[in-house]
A and B are shown apart, each in its own frame.
Chain A
């Protein structure tokens, strides 16, 4: 079942279009990796799905709803969460407060969800009271994901979760993403680290120059010679 689809998206920050009629489909519960060179418009696509950018053309559908042009604070209420690439935590607040902010729009008792998120990230449970600004990059990334998961979203958008992390931490983050996916959350991940991103993806999209180039199952793209040569560094 297709849970989220972006169809023929044309969008830009100014008059110049960054994306030209880009389309992606996401099945419920799967990991979709979007790869491509710098400037391909990968992050722009996530921002458009989440309503930070308003597309000039095209349509974003989530379940049965047309969410094109809906503001982020409304999109998040529908069941989609977004983790920006940078500045994705509240640094002067504690880990616990960051998670509470993640649940800001919930008016019900979310203590169960809080436990689940802490179970997913045991490191965080040990230092609930610590200010996030004092944490390492890898730990911050986990707080950022934990915050986004507080609403129990059906789709999680991750913008370059491994960016700026030491190589030893990258595999840890990817493991966590698989763990999150195992709880039933569909994930759209935009990555520079294309090989790793495709390894765990059920489906992958290659974007270049703001256009769809190719899409296939994750392992099929990994095995594809042209993809290997052009986008995975040989």
Chain B
């Protein structure tokens, strides 16, 4: 049970990264971006391309760091993939969502178009890599670290938690301390006033997509390291992402963090009582329950 909670926290921290991006975008552009899950997949596969292809080709050695399952290749691929998916997210906004916004399209049209974008990303992955599960480094098992109460945690998972803490703290500092971060919060708070104040809200929107895309890529890679890569991995994350976002109050970054951890733990702990295939329905049921009982989420005002 302790072990399930720990695995839940690892899974939950990954969900949190994705949910934070989703909630930031919603806070500023006010629509449900169904392509967000597939940003996770895109990030994971861009890193895969780098680790097994590009970086191998240019001769970066295939060593590993200590007892982790990856080394320099991943250390390079990780930030590069975040940057690439940030670019994809910004590009998608520029060529698709921005035009729809300019035409005054409502949130439903935007959400439907994001569903289309999600299919496009997924199909590109399917065409390039096929439908099988893939690994960054197949067949490598690393000894787990023994924790009290008989629980075990793998070194990779410790690193995943560490990375999530680093990324979330950086984002927190960015939003609280920097001019651009504060302008992002201001735009989420009151877009019309931000414009009247002289803030270039279109530029803020670009930043928001970039950050959301980068965090999604990080989440996808971390999940790939922890479990495996699959073209539908991002799609399967979509319900947990939305559940976490709604639970933590849509638009609230810290809520998304707590929501993500809650959903992750609930999903993993449920496997003690239910078949593992019910993990996804567990997230779905939680989402439905929040929507019925407290649709404004835990941090929302009545």
Contact = CB atoms under 8 A, between A and B. Distances in A.
Given A73-B200, A104-B179, A90 B195 contact: no
A84 B196 contact: yes
B190 to A, nearest CB: 6
Interface stretch (A91-99, A189-197, A204-212, A216-224): A91-99
B277 interface: no
B195 A88 contact: no
Contacts of B182: 93, 97, 100-101
A87 B192 contact: yes
Nearest to B191: A87
B199 A101 contact: yes
B177 to A, nearest CB: 11
Contact of A76 (B179, B186, B196): B196
B193 interface: yes
B198 A87 contact: no
B132 to A, nearest CB: 46
A170 B118 CA distance: 53
Chain B binding surface SS class? helix
Given A77-B198, A82-B196, A147-B197, A104 B183 contact: yes
Contacts of B137: none
Interface string A143-165: 00001000100000000000000
Contacts of A84: 192-193, 196
Given A84-B193, A90-B193, A101 B200 contact: no
A89 B193 CA distance: 7
A93 B189 contact: yes
B123 interface: no
- Interface range on chain A (Cβ under 8 Å from partner): 20 to 34
B192 A73 contact: no
Nearest to A51: B196
A213 interface: no
Interface string A65-81: 00000001100110000
A87 B194 CA distance: 11
A92 B196 contact: no
A91 B189 contact: yes
Contacts of A105: 197-199
B190 A89 contact: yes
Interface in A1-55: 50, 52
Interface residues of B, number: 16
B185 interface: yes
A102 interface: yes
B198 A73 contact: yes
A33 to B, nearest CB: 21
A104 B189 contact: no
Given A88-B193, A89-B193, A90-B190, A76 B185 contact: no
Nearest to A52: B196
Interface in A165-217: none
A144 to B, nearest CB: 9
Contacts of A77: 198
Contacts of B192: 84, 87
A72 B189 CA distance: 18
A67 B192 CA distance: 20
Contacts of A151: 198
Contacts of A147: 197
A101 B196 contact: no
Contacts of B194: 90, 101
A84 B183 CA distance: 19
B198 A93 contact: no
Contacts of B185: 90, 92-93, 97
Contacts of A102: 197
Contacts of A100: 179, 182
A110 to B, nearest CB: 12
Given A101-B183, A104-B179, A76 B197 contact: yes
A105 B179 CA distance: 10
Contacts of B193: 84, 87-90
Given A90-B194, A100-B179, 19 more contacts: A72-B198, A73-B195, A73-B198, A77-B198, A82-B196, A88-B193, A90-B190, A91-B190, A92-B189, A93-B182, A93-B185, A93-B189, A97-B186, A101-B182, A101-B194, A101-B197, A102-B197, A104-B186, A105-B199
Interface of B: 179, 182-183, 185-186, 189-190, 192-200
Interface of A: 50, 52, 72-73, 76-77, 82, 84, 87-93, 97, 100-102, 104-105, 147, 151
13 contacts: A72-B195, A72-B198, A73-B195, A84-B192, A87-B192, A89-B193, A90-B185, A90-B190, A93-B189, A101-B194, A104-B197, A104-B198, A147-B197
